[in-house]
Amino acid sequence: MIDYRGGFDFDVTPGELWLSIEHAEQFEGWWPWLQEFSLEGGKLRSGAVMHGIVTPPVPYRMHVDVELVACRRPPAIDAVVHGDLEGSASLRIGRSGLGGCTVEATWSVEMMQTPMRIANRFAHPFLRWGHDRVVDITVRSFRRHLESTIAP
């Protein structure tokens, strides 16, 4: 299992952040670890399903389907994850005291690939490192995107 909880501050309002994440067609350009991405249903909304391949900086690839169970603009997304990972995930977007916003990301997923389950028994710190690098890359890339598209 990979259980994760992280909080991140952004210098945009919750509404501005939401407008950016609605551009799902740009996800692959923002995040180099994401390949063959598609959004079934056309936009972020309850019932939509995101499909893609996650390629972290360790030697494995994971096919995932993320079903948006609840999508409330802008404060929250709740999702279930299927495929090579199984579990649940959520985003909570709130205002920060400085006029920006805070995003809390949480997930609890289980690796379903037999080789990954075996590797996790012997190399959990390495796999966790790969996971954490994907999170770091995601946040840095999204901050750069926001800085380049939303005027302060």
In angstroms, the CA 55 to CA 134 distance is 9
Residue 65, both tokens: 């389907």
Interhelix angle for 14-21 vs 114-149, to 10°? 120
Domain containing residue 115: 2-149
**Per-residue pLDDT tens for 85-123?**
999 999 999 999 778 999 999 999 998 888 777 877 888
**Per-residue pLDDT tens for 122-133?**
888 888 888 888
In angstroms, the CA 17 to CA 95 distance is 11
Q: pTM for the full model?
A: 0.88
**What CATH number is associated with residue 46?**
3.30.530.20
Residue 116, both tokens: 């990954």
Q: Residue 106 is which amino acid? A: T
**Per the structure, how many domains does the chain have?**
1
Q: Which residue has the tokens 């809390």?
A: 104
